[in-house]
Structure 1
C-alpha cells in the first residue's frame, strides 16, 4: 500500500508540473500494476492438506489445479496422510494412501501421521502454513495442530450438516434410502467432529436416480465438493464472515460401520432394506449368512455341513420362483434357485424377495449362483434355508 500511495502522490505532482506527464503516468501505472501483481502472488495461501482416500484425492487434485491456474489463491501445498498400510497375504505388502500416490506423482511433499495410535496429540505438524484443508482424514485435528494455522482449517463433509455427523455419512445416506443428499464445507471445530460453522453447502436429488453403490454416491458428491472447496478458498474471508452455525436440534449421527451390520437378518428386514445395505457397505463389508449344505457323495449318513457365505451382486427381482403358490408362504431365509435370472432368491420379511447373483463360501473363490448350487449339491428344484450368523 505504501508503494501505491507514493505512486499516486507522484502522479498528482506530475499532472501539475511536468509537460510529459501523460507518458510518465502510463509508465508509473504500469509499474504499479506489476508491483501489485507480484505482491499478490506471494500472498497466495500456503495450504496443508490432510486426507487419505480417493474422495480426498479428488479434492487434493482440485487444489493443485487451482494453484497451477492462479497462484494468487494458493501458492503452496503439502500433504499429511496416514502411514502406508500392510495388506495382502500375511500382510506382506505395504499399500500407500491414494492421496500419497497422487502427491508423489505431482511432486507434492508428503508428511505422515504417527504410526501408532489414532491421535495427533503431541504430534508436531510441518510449518509454516496459512490454512488447513481436511478431507476424509480419519483423525481428529487437535488444537495443537490448529493453532499453527493462522486461518484455521476447513473440511469437506459428504452430507448436509448437521445431518450425518460422523465417519459414515455416505453409507447412512444410502442405507436410509434418502431422497436428498448433499455436501458441506465447514470450518474445523477444535472440540468436536463435524460441528463447525457452515461455509458452503449444496444438495443433490437422489429420488430419480438412487445411488447404485457407495462409489457411485462418493463420485457424484465429489464432483460438487471440489467445486465448493475451491470457491470457498477463493472467497474465504467473506465465507467466514457469513458462516452459519449448525442447528443442534437437527443433528443426526453416522457412526463407523460395525461388522455386525453385514449379518443379514432375513426375518427382521425387508428385501429393500437388505439391498440398500448391500449398496452402502458391500464394498467394505460383504453381506454374510450361513447355510447347511448336504454331505458329500459317499458320506450320505454324515450330518449336513454349515458354512458361512458372502453374498454379492444383490438386486430386487420383479418376479420370483418364491412367489409361486407352493412357496409364497415360505419362512424368511428360504432360498430357491431361479432359472430365469440364474440367481438364488431368498425370502425376507413380509414376503419380500432378494436376488443374489454371486456367492463366496469361506476360504473359497467367488462363484455364480448356478456354479454354487452345482458345487455344493444343492438341488435347484428344491428350497433351502439361509440363517443369520449369530
Structure 2
C-alpha cells in the first residue's frame, strides 16, 4: 500500500466501533472521530457516551460531537482537518454536500446489504424477514441520496434458516471491517472503481415498528418464522394470550420452527403440546413455539413454562386463549 490515509471516522454503536477498531489497528491514521452528543441510556437514564466515543478516547483520538452539520463552524472544523477520506458507519446524521465534498476522496459508507437492495434504516432485519438467502456489506461512495451512491466494493455472506438479525449483525460486523480496509487500500493507490447502482432494482428497508411484532397466524408458518428471526433482538415477535379472567398477557417468542400440518383447523389453533414445543396451525403448515417469554419473566423453554402454565395451552384451543 502507498502512503497511509488520514481518516475522519463517524459512527455510533458497537457495529461502528468494530470498524473503528480495525482502522486503529491498520496503517491508516484516524485524525478525528465524530459521533452524536452523549444521551441518557439504561434504566437509570445516566448520560452515557456511545461505544465509538469510548473506543476513540481510549486511544487518545480527538472526539467531535456536533448536533448536526448545519452550523458553519462545525463545517469549517471538519474541513480544516484536511482528511483524505471520511468513513461513515451507522452514524445517524445526514451529511450535507459541503461535508460530503470536504475530504480529498470524499465520504464512504459501510452499508449492511447488497446494494441497491435494502437501502435504508433496517437492511439486516428486512433481509431476514423477506427470506433472502444472502446478504453482505457494500462499501459505497456517499452522495446526497439515501444509500444511492456508487458502489466501491461488496462482500457477501449467507443467511441460513437458523440466522436471526442478531447473528447476521455479528457476521457483518466481522465482514465489514475487512471489506473497509480492502477498499481503503485500493483508494490509497487510486485503484478503486466506482460502479453506479441500478435504481430500478432498489428496495427500501424501512425502520422497524413495534406494531409489526404481533404474529398473524393467518400467514404461512415460513413467513412467520422469518419475521420471528428478523425481530430478534427487537421488537421480538409476540402474541396476546387472554386468560379465563380476561386478563391480557403479552408473550414473546424467541425460538420456533416450521413443522408439517395437514389438520383441517383454523389458523391460530393449538394442534399439539409437549415438552418440545407448542404447535400452532397457520395458513400453511404449522409453527412450533419452542422458547417463550412470559410478562416480567426471562425467556424459557416451553417445557419449563408448561410446568406452571399447562392450563394455558391445550390442544384444540386458540393460542390466544379465551377470546373476547
Q: Mark yes or no: TM-score above 0.5.
A: yes
- For structure 2, the residue ranges without an aligned partner over 5 or more in a row are none
SS in 1 for 2:34: strand
User: Match for residue 240 of structure 2?
Assistant: 290
Deviations along 1:6-25, whole A, 9 cap, x unmatched? xxxxxxxxxxxxxxxxxxxx
Out of 298, 302, 308, the position equivalent to 1:369 is 302
Q: 1:185 to 1:306 in 2, by over 3 A?
A: same
| TM-fit CA distance, 1:143 | 1.9
| TM-fit CA distance, 1:276 | 1.3
SS in 2 for 1:344: strand
Pair 1:315 & 2:251 matched: no
Deviations along 1:63-93, whole A, 9 cap, x unmatched? 1111xxx3xxx2333211123332333x433
| TM-fit CA distance, 1:331 | 1.4
User: Match for residue 60 of structure 2?
Assistant: 107
Q: 1:210 to 1:239 in 2, by over 3 A?
A: farther
Out of 137, 141, 162, the position equivalent to 2:95 is 141
Out of 151, 156, 164, the position equivalent to 1:203 is 156
User: Match for residue 111 of structure 2?
Assistant: 157
Find the aligned partners of 1:240 and 1:165 in 2 and give their Cα distance.
26
Pair 1:330 & 2:265 matched: yes
Q: 1:235 to 1:150 in 2, by over 3 A?
A: same
| TM-fit CA distance, 1:136 | 1.5
Q: Is the 8 A contact 1:293 1:378 kept in 2?
A: no
User: Match for residue 247 of structure 1?
Assistant: 198
Find the aligned partners of 2:196 and 2:45 in 1 and give their Cα distance.
47
| TM-fit CA distance, 1:271 | 1.6
Q: 1:353 to 1:170 in 2, by over 3 A?
A: same
| TM-fit CA distance, 1:264 | 0.9
User: Match for residue 386 of structure 1?
Assistant: 319
Pair 1:75 & 2:29 matched: yes
> When the two structures are superposed, what TM-score results if normalisation uses the length of structure 1?
0.72
Q: Tell me which stretches of 4 or more aligned residues in structure 1 moved more than 6 Å.
A: none
> Which structure has the bigger radius of gyration?
1
> When the two structures are superposed, what TM-score results if normalisation uses the length of structure 2?
0.86
Q: 1:379 to 1:219 in 2, by over 3 A?
A: closer
Alignment size in residue pairs: 316
Q: Is the 8 A contact 1:134 1:153 kept in 2?
A: yes
Q: Is the 8 A contact 2:275 2:302 kept in 1?
A: no
Q: 1:164 to 1:86 in 2, by over 3 A?
A: same
Deviations along 1:336-362, whole A, 9 cap, x unmatched? 663241x3222222242232322222x
User: Match for residue 168 of structure 2?
Assistant: 217
Find the aligned partners of 1:366 and 1:57 in 2 and give their Cα distance.
29
- For structure 1, the residue ranges without an aligned partner over 5 or more in a row are 1-39, 296-303
**Equivalences for 1:1-390 in 2 at 5 Å?**
44-66=4-26, 70=27, 74-89=28-43, 91-114=44-67, 119-122=68-71, 124-125=74-75, 126-127=77-78, 128-130=81-83, 131-189=85-143, 191-206=144-159, 209-210=160-161, 212-236=163-187, 242-267=193-218, 269-295=219-245, 304-312=246-254, 314-316=255-257, 318=259, 323=261, 328-335=263-270, 338-341=273-276, 343-361=277-295, 363-376=296-309, 378=311, 381-387=314-320
Two-structure CA RMSD over aligned residues (Å): 2.8
- Bigger helix share: 1
